[in-house]
Amino acid sequence: MGKLIYALCMLTSLGCTILLLRSYLRSRYRLLFWSGLCFAGLTVNNLLLLADKLSGPALDLTTWRLVMALAALIPLLYGLIWEE
């Protein structure tokens, strides 16, 4: 059941990414772009989580997931600080 929930979380992140970037293309509001990049990274993070759970104890992707989560939040942090 947990793997299904992880897959749904990944699909939700992907949906948010698509909606944010599509809205950015329509309005050119820069904060939507940075948020879309953040959610794209979170989608990859959720994909790594799903791969980690499906592979079992043979493969540990914890470090890669944490690095991806940090990389996903950096564009949003940049956008929140430097965009007007």
Domain ranges of the chain: 2-82
pLDDT per residue over 48-73, tens digit each? 999 999 988 888 999 999 999 999 99
pTM of structure: 0.91
Given a cut of 90, is residue 83 above it in pLDDT? no
Candidates 15, 13, 31; CA nearest to 68 is 13
What tokens does 71 get?
Answer: 């990389």
pLDDT at 34: 97
pLDDT per residue over 2-39, tens digit each? 889 999 999 999 999 999 999 999 999 999 999 999 99
Residue 56 is classified by DSSP as: G
pLDDT at 70: 97
Tell me how many degrees the CA angle 69-8-70 measures, rounded to the nearest 5.
5
